[in-house]
DNA sequence: GAATTGATTGAATGACCATTCAATGAAGGC
DNA sequence: GCCTTCATTGAATGGTCATTCAATCAATTC
């Protein structure tokens, strides 16, 4: 995070710090070279550490990749889970929090999106993703469906079912992420967020803008 | 395609047939093992051919992968481009054709979606994708935006701009693809298509269902 | 200030893989 | 039936990489 001093980095650090350092370097390496091009040599070079450290702090390369994924998943979930549990917030505000989390700069930037899609796109790692984070996606979908149901219920208004809206949201979240990653000149996170909100306003007749 | 005889496959075949055979095997291999796990040995085994043939018919492994991508892109584009150019079809019918192409079983199945996302997810191959197929995505978006503009123009109705709708469509297409790939128990191509149509009906006040 | 503990290093090992190529085999022209 | 042409084969080559491990080094304890 912050530099202790200009020239004298301590040569040794607690395992937790090294683990985090290696995970950050892994994110950078994957975003630059893809998973296949991410060698332990590149990761440790990126981190400014020696090759052996990767295998010292993680059982295997695969364990490092899984830890990296878990780190991203935790970071993402932390952005909305708290608000979704506050009983005094409206359903609309909670839904809003989920949308905002999805396009929060901490999560929605090309460096990190690269990593998400690296895991989505590689069949063996996709299995690992489903094992560690699949339930998280299902959880988010259940929560959004539930929130939509409450909003629709309040109004008694029903063009679309809550379940349909939640499916559309999941699709929009991932698809807009992908387009932000691939076509940053055409898609950016702010307009993406606004468009999702506009869609919700259309569906739920709430003021999301 | 079809089996000439039960036991006697001819030992030799024209290069074009072999190329196609290898491309099909590559699609299967990528869907099973990911790009990184797709070795020429696995591809040629899958095709029932010998290792050397891969390098005989393609300059390099990378050339084979690029040809595979090109094959998928051509196949996809062919599903909608003809209809989009028929002057006697309505704008709504053309938009419909694009949506149908996106969720056509020939394209939208987990075997092929695996390959698309393999290219999307791997940074070095993503660059290759953008070079070979990036213009195709932009083209589809231009066409949908144009069609939306014509539909909106006819009605003079304007909740959302044509450009916004086309961005939403691109997002929905990719995101629903990803969810069909990852959560086939929750997402299938028919309901995905219907939901996109319902969204268009909402936006454009046309009868898309 | 020795001794102990735990972090760090990078050369060595073994596995895997793309690519090459010399040899083999089939098919059709003559 | 011989010969040319072209597809096919798979062993050999060279390179890359994850992982191991014996040696080194820093910090902490006593």
CB contact under 8 A, A121 and B123: no
Whether B6 shows a pLDDT value over 50: the answer reads no
Q: Which of B30, B31, B72, B121 to mutate to test the interface with A (most CBs of A within 10 A)?
A: B121
- Please give the average per-residue pLDDT across B147-176, as a whole number: 89
**What's the mean pLDDT when you consider all of chain A?**
91
pLDDT tens readout for residues A32-89: 999 999 999 999 999 999 999 999 999 999 999 999 999 999 999 999 999 999 999 9
Whether A4 shows a pLDDT value over 50: the answer reads no
**Are A151 and A169 in contact, with CB atoms under 8 Å apart?**
no
Whether B54 shows a pLDDT value over 80: the answer reads yes
Protein contacts on strand C: list nucleotides below 7 Å from a Cβ: 6-11, 16-22, 25-27
pLDDT tens readout for residues B93-126: 999 999 999 999 999 999 999 999 999 999 999 9
Residues of B with CB below 8 A from A62's CB?
none
**Angle at alpha carbon of residue A185, lines to A180 and A186, rounded to 5°:** 70
pLDDT tens readout for residues A92-124: 999 999 999 999 999 999 999 999 999 999 999
Q: Cβ of B37 < 7 Å from strand D?
A: no
Share of chain B above pLDDT 90, in %: 82
Whether B3 shows a pLDDT value over 90: the answer reads no
Closest-CA distance of chain B to residue A178, Å: 7
Cα–Cα distance for residue pair A187/B149, rounded to 1 Å: 19
- How far apart, in Å, are the Cα atoms of A10 and each of A5, A7, A25, B18? 9, 10, 18, 59
**Are A57 and A15 in contact, with CB atoms under 8 Å apart?**
yes
Q: Which residues contact A71 (CB under 8 A, 6 or more apart)?
A: A23
Q: Cβ of A2 < 7 Å from strand D?
A: no
pLDDT tens readout for residues B130-141: 999 999 999 999
DSSP codes of every residue in A77-95: HHTTHHHHH-TTS-HHHHH
> What pLDDT score does B4 carry?
34
Whether B2 shows a pLDDT value over 50: the answer reads no
**Angle at alpha carbon of residue B105, lines to B150 and B87, rounded to 5°:** 30
- Strand, coil or helix: A202: helix
Q: Cβ of A39 < 7 Å from strand D?
A: yes
Whether B188 shows a pLDDT value over 70: the answer reads yes
Q: Residue with structure tokens 């094959």?
A: B71
Task: pLDDT band for B208, please (50, 70, 90 cuts).
Answer: low
**What's the mean pLDDT when you consider all of chain B?**
91
**Are A41 and B128 in contact, with CB atoms under 8 Å apart?**
no
Q: Cβ of A40 < 7 Å from strand C?
A: no
Q: Cβ of B13 < 7 Å from strand C?
A: no
Structure tokens at B113: 């979606």
pLDDT tens readout for residues A5-43: 334 567 787 778 899 999 999 999 999 999 999 999 999
**Are B120 and B30 in contact, with CB atoms under 8 Å apart?**
no
Q: Which of A178, A200, A204 to mutate to test the interface with B (most CBs of B within 10 A)?
A: A178
**Are B80 and B142 in contact, with CB atoms under 8 Å apart?**
no
Residue nearest to nucleotide C17 (CA to C1'): B39
Q: Cβ of A18 < 7 Å from strand C?
A: yes
Structure tokens at B27: 């699609």
CB nearest to A187's CB, from B37, B167, B172: B167
**Are B204 and B144 in contact, with CB atoms under 8 Å apart?**
no
Q: Cβ of B15 < 7 Å from strand D?
A: yes
> What pLDDT score does B56 carry?
96
CB nearest to A122's CB, from B118, B134, B192: B118
Residue nearest to nucleotide D17 (CA to C1'): A39
DSSP codes of every residue in A178-204: HHHHH-TTT--HHHHHHHHHHHHHHHH
Residues of B with CB below 8 A from A171's CB?
171-172, 175-176, 178-179, 187, 192, 195
Burial class (CB in 10 A: 0-12, 13-18, 19+), B209: exposed
CB contact under 8 A, A195 and B141: no
CB contact under 8 A, B179 and A178: no
CB contact under 8 A, A178 and B183: no
Closest CA to A130 of A60, A73, A180, A182: A73
Whether B204 shows a pLDDT value over 90: the answer reads no
**Angle at alpha carbon of residue A49, lines to A46 and A51, rounded to 5°:** 95
Q: Which residues contact B62 (CB under 8 A, 6 or more apart)?
A: B128
- Please give the average per-residue pLDDT across B61-71, as a whole number: 97
> What pLDDT score does A174 carry?
98
**Are B69 and B133 in contact, with CB atoms under 8 Å apart?**
yes
């Amino acid at each position: 995070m912050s530099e202790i001093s200009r020239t004298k980095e301590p040569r040794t650090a607690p395992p937790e710090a090294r683990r985090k350092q290696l995970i950050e370097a892994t994110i950078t390496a994957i975003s630059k070279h893809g998973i296949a091009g991410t060698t332990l040599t590149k990761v440790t070079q990126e981190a400014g550490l020696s090759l052996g450290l990767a295998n010292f702090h993680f059982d295997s390369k695969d364990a490092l990749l899984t830890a990296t994924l878990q780190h991203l998943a935790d970071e993402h979930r932390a952005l909305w889970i708290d608000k979704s549990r506050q009983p005094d917030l409206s359903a609309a505000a909670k839904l809003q929090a989920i949308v905002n989390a999805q396009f929060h700069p901490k999560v929605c930037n090309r460096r990190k999106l690269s990593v998400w899609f690296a895991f989505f796109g590689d069949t063996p790692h996709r299995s690992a993703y489903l094992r560690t984070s699949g339930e998280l996606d299902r959880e988010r979908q259940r929560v959004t469906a539930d929130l939509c149901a409450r909003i629709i219920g309040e109004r008694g208004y029903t063009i679309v079912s809550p379940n349909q809206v939640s499916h559309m949201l999941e699709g929009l979240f991932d698809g807009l992420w992908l387009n932000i990653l691939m076509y940053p000149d055409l898609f950016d996170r702010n307009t993406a967020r606004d468009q999702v909100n506009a869609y919700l306003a259309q569906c739920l007749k709430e003021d999301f803008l």
